[in-house]
Amino acid sequence: MKVLKFGGTSVGSEEAIRQVAKIVQGNVDQIVMVSSAVGGVTDQLVEIGDTAARGKKEYESLLEAVKLRHEQMYYNLVENKPDTNFYDIIEEFEDICRGVWLLRELTPRSADFIHSIGERLSTLIITDFFRTQGIDITLYDSRKYIVTDDQFGNANVNFKLTNERLQEAKKSFTKVNLFPGFVAATEENETTTLGRGGSDYTAAILAGLLAADHFEVWTDVDGLMTADPRIVKKAHFIEHVSYEEALELSHFGAKVIYPPSIQPALEKGIPITIKNTFNPEQKGTLITKEWDEDKQLIRGISSIKDIALVTLSGSSMVGIPKFSYRFFRALSTANVNVILITQASSEHSITVGIDGKESGRALRALNTEFEEMIATNRINPIEIEDNFSIIALVGSNMRNQVGVSGQMFNVLGKNGVSIHAIAQGSSERNISAVISKEDLHKALNVLHESFFLSLTKRINLFIIGTGNVGKAFINQLAQQFTFLKKNHQLNIKIIGLANSRQMHFEKDGIPLSKWESYLAEGVAFTKEDFIQNMYDVNLRNSIFIDITASEDIAALYADILKKSISVVTPNKIAATGPQTDYLNLKSMSKRYGSQFLFETNVCAGLPVLSTLNDLVRSGDQVHQIEAVLSGTLVFLFNEYDGTTKFVDVIKKAKELGFTEPDPRLDLFGSDVKRKILILIRESGYTCEYDDIELNSFLPESCMESSSVEDFYEKVEKEEAHFKKLYEDAKAKGARLKVVAKYKDGHGSVGLEAVDATHPFYNLEGKDNIVLFYTKRYDDHPMVIKGAGAGAEVTASGIFADVLRLGQSDM
């Protein structure tokens, strides 16, 4: 004999019920079948009861809707109107709700009666429908067989009486024997229920007592997964688990199976399979006693969303006899389930995690128990804090493995999830942590990625700035997306995108090929809203990318880094402000596990900063830097040969897009100053912008101008000056380069005539070059040379920073 249990979604629609009939028909064995209420109905019944109890007449229309839904299902399946059995149940339902409404009171007894209606109706529909399909089926009212005490809402089964009644019933079993799940009754025939999700338990009791050969739990997922698939999209399916692991997973919220339900099957050693009603070909998850050795370290990650922490504390608890015994007894008498004990009861306090819904009950019970001691200040008032969740790593192999908890807390910390309490189950099959409810989604996903390595890692980007560089970056990402996913297990998504006018957020990622239309349909941009949205979606592995030149945006970095979100940017403002601010950003990122990367600040996509960082990290020391850091200036002095006026060369460079929109920014040398400043700081030295000496090649008259046009005029007037610079260099066989230097502890920028033996002599086009003289590269400097400007190369530098983060354990 087999026991088959079908959950709410499995009987949630006519289609589903037809599917169930097929599954049942496919069995040759005798079947004991248990069914839940039609999906969602129990929740509706709870609402109806509560609404009536609050004296609200709306309960009637809610009730009507429930009735109609069942009537319709019946009619569509059986192709006939329901008979009096059906309407008798509805009438009882209406009567009791009316009573509750009149009295404005919902006793646990009435609540159970109301909540039992769902299973009673669903099984009636199934029975009549199965008969039309030629299935030999008998419907048993579970209330006559499953005997419980009168702990309404969560009744305890009297196994002895239940067994007697079932053995009697078994004698006349037909091919298919259907029992409504969840519902039971006291010896006095008062309807009780076994707790939410209790149909699993009904089925397990039947399986255990009737000594079934197999117990199948039919639900809406392929089996037990490594995490709740609604929260972790990448959760994968577990083929085989031990009872212990399944128990542990379900204890911490894997609600596919209800924890007590395993117990009766476990005692009898009956194998359990979890199967998908909507995908019956799938093998499902097998739960057995045997233990197969080469299992993974971690079997799954479970979570309970809504937890309250209850704390009993007081300095004089020391010496109060049995206070922890009394604490637990009070909770248990009030039927409050302690999910985890967050610390071994110290002498001064004890904290436990309970279901958030039970916090009121817990508080009342504890206040009564400790009333006198609280009144006399011997202990503190009971503390209850809401809005927590629990996450638990579960796996039997964890027992002898060091480092699991270290990895868990490291990963959570890096993602800014703070841990309020930790507990290791005495079985050592789980490590659980209490975290804020708002961090649950992030924590689960990041742990899942960390412990189930084969899975791809998701990186979430928040980008401000869609100018030339921003566009190029998104296009490169779109081109590389599939490659990165396949070869590097990186799934990079843009979650938030903005330009100066508009912004758009998409929790699952903005389609990379359609970002422009998504952004166009976005809402008005403000930096505050953007940041707030980014914090609110609260995703793991988040990176903020600033592709603007805005001071306002740069001012946000510190706060963002503090939220454990890394920052990547070509914007030089933050790294070139006062040294203290720069150091503050660095230490902030260290402290909060985020990173601040700005490779493109110097020489666009050339790996200048990353190389420098590697040198410094590995113990090398930079003592001198020589560099050509402005592609624009290289172009100007390469082009200028005295035949065309210098001002016309500037205009040409501007036309070609090689200058800033205001070319004065390039010509004044401030951009170069910023870059050398960053190189000096990243080498480990202290330096301020104003410490860097600037020897301008512009004559005095060009330093003040009211507009770009005015500037052009002034430059034109000084043509002779530029020509002389050129001719003098030429006479020496040299070329002009604007060189940035760090030497003898001093930074400078100035025009130099370099001869043919100098490595700068042959710089082409807009190339940049950097020479690092270090302890290790002393006579022959480390040279980095290549295109140092342009949207594409800058975008690729940003990309490199993103990948660097993706491949680190961010």
Q: Considering CB under 6 A, how many residues would be counted as binding ligand ASP? A: 13
DSSP 1-29: -EEEEE-TGGGSSHHHHHHHHHHHHT--S
Minimal CB distance residue for ligand ADP: 7
Catalytic residue among 673, 675, 737, 741: 675
Q: Which is nearer to Mg ion, 217 or 474 (CB)?
A: 217
- If one asks whether residue 196 binds ligand ASP (CB under 6 A), the answer comes out as yes
Least Å from the CB of residue 36 to Mg ion: 7
Query: What are the Cα distances from residue 133, in Å, to 12, 71, 397, 761?
Result: 19, 19, 48, 91
Residue 181 touches which member of ligand ASP, Mg ion, ligand ADP, none, C-beta under 5-8 Å by kind: ligand ASP
Residues in CB range of 24: below 8 A, 6 or more apart = 4, 31, 33, 130, 135, 176
Identify the residue whose tokens are 């007697």. Answer: 164
What are the tokens at 531?
């940041």
Identify the residue whose tokens are 């969303």. Answer: 305
- If one asks whether residue 122 binds ligand ADP (CB under 6 A), the answer comes out as no
Of the residues 39, 49, 180, 197, which one makes contact with Mg ion according to CB under 5 A: 197
Q: Considering CB under 6 A, how many residues would be counted as binding ligand ADP? A: 20
Q: Which of residues 688-707 bind ligand ADP (CB under 6 A)?
A: none
Q: Which of residues 187-206 bind ligand ADP (CB under 6 A)?
A: 197
- If one asks whether residue 220 binds ligand ADP (CB under 6 A), the answer comes out as yes
Q: Which is nearer to ligand ASP, 217 or 266 (CB)?
A: 217
- If one asks whether residue 181 binds ligand ADP (CB under 6 A), the answer comes out as no
Residue 230 touches which member of ligand ADP, Mg ion, ligand ASP, none, C-beta under 5-8 Å by kind: ligand ADP
**471 has catalytic annotation:** no
Report the C-alpha gap between 742 and 675 in whole angstroms.
Answer: 11
Contact range with ligand ADP by CB under 6 A, out of 42-50, 250-258, 566-574, 744-752: 250-258
Residue 118 touches which member of ligand ADP, ligand ASP, Mg ion, none, C-beta under 5-8 Å by kind: ligand ASP
Q: Which is nearer to Mg ion, 6 or 388 (CB)?
A: 6
- If one asks whether residue 221 binds ligand ADP (CB under 6 A), the answer comes out as yes
Cα Rg of the chain, angstroms: 36
Contact range with ligand ASP by CB under 6 A, out of 196-204, 315-323, 355-363, 714-722: 196-204
Report the C-alpha gap between 97 and 65 in whole angstroms.
Answer: 14
- If one asks whether residue 496 binds ligand ASP (CB under 6 A), the answer comes out as no
- If one asks whether residue 300 binds ligand ADP (CB under 6 A), the answer comes out as yes
Backbone phi, psi, residue 767, to 5°? -65, 150
Contact range with Mg ion by CB under 5 A, out of 4-12, 37-45, 236-244, 675-683: 4-12
In 3D space, the residue among 597, 495, 612, 584 whose CA is nearest the CA of residue 546 turns out to be 597
Q: Considering CB under 5 A, how many residues would be counted as binding Mg ion? A: 2
- If one asks whether residue 179 binds ligand ASP (CB under 6 A), the answer comes out as no
Q: Which is nearer to ligand ASP, 199 or 466 (CB)?
A: 199
Q: Which is nearer to ligand ADP, 230 or 617 (CB)?
A: 230
Within its chain, how far is the Cα of 35 from the centroid?
Answer: 34
Least Å from the CB of residue 415 to ligand ASP: 33
What ranges in 138-187 are assigned the alpha helix state H? 159-170
Contact range with ligand ASP by CB under 6 A, out of 19-27, 197-205, 398-406, 411-419: 197-205
Report the C-alpha gap between 675 and 770 in whole angstroms.
Answer: 11
- If one asks whether residue 191 binds ligand ASP (CB under 6 A), the answer comes out as no
Q: Which is nearer to ligand ASP, 8 or 631 (CB)?
A: 8
- If one asks whether residue 42 binds ligand ASP (CB under 6 A), the answer comes out as yes
Residue 196 touches which member of ligand ADP, ligand ASP, Mg ion, none, C-beta under 5-8 Å by kind: ligand ASP
Backbone phi, psi, residue 626, to 5°? -135, 135
- If one asks whether residue 181 binds ligand ASP (CB under 6 A), the answer comes out as yes
Residues in CB range of 220: below 8 A, 6 or more apart = 7, 9, 10, 276, 277, 278
Strand arrangement of the beta sheet that strand 147-148 belongs to: 147-148, 183-186, 191-193
Residue 658 touches which member of ligand ADP, Mg ion, ligand ASP, none, C-beta under 5-8 Å by kind: none
In 3D space, the residue among 644, 632, 634 whose CA is nearest the CA of residue 722 turns out to be 644
Of the residues 17, 34, 37, 178, which one makes contact with ligand ASP according to CB under 6 A: 37
Least Å from the CB of residue 43 to Mg ion: 12
Of the residues 119, 128, 228, 244, which one makes contact with ligand ADP according to CB under 6 A: 228
Q: Which residues pair with 310 in a beta bridge?
A: 352, 384
In 3D space, the residue among 803, 464, 461 whose CA is nearest the CA of residue 607 turns out to be 803
Residue 228 touches which member of Mg ion, ligand ASP, ligand ADP, none, C-beta under 5-8 Å by kind: ligand ADP
Cβ–Cβ under 8 Å, residues 567 and 596:
yes
Query: What are the Cα distances from residue 46, in Å, to 42, 50, 62, 102, 478?
Result: 6, 6, 11, 17, 48
The burial of 151, by beta-carbon neighbours within 10 Å (0-12 exposed, 13-18 middle, 19 or more buried), is given as: middle
Residue 221 touches which member of ligand ADP, Mg ion, ligand ASP, none, C-beta under 5-8 Å by kind: ligand ADP
Residues comprising the chain, all counted: 810
Task: Say how many Å lie between the first and final Cα of the chain, rounded.
Answer: 52
- If one asks whether residue 35 binds ligand ADP (CB under 6 A), the answer comes out as no
Measured from the Cβ of residue 708, the count of other Cβ atoms closer than 10 Å reads 15
Of the residues 210, 224, 554, 810, which one makes contact with ligand ADP according to CB under 6 A: 224
Report the C-alpha gap between 756 and 762 in whole angstroms.
Answer: 8
Backbone phi, psi, residue 533, to 5°? -60, -40
In 3D space, the residue among 648, 673, 646, 659 whose CA is nearest the CA of residue 750 turns out to be 673
List active site positions. Answer: 675
Please report, as ranges, the residues that interact with ligand ADP according to CB under 6 A: 7-10, 36, 197, 219-221, 224-225, 227-230, 249, 254-256, 300
Residue numbers of the site for ligand ASP (CB under 6 A)?
Answer: 7-8, 36-37, 42, 118, 181-182, 196-200
* Sites of contact with Mg ion (CB under 5 A): 7, 197
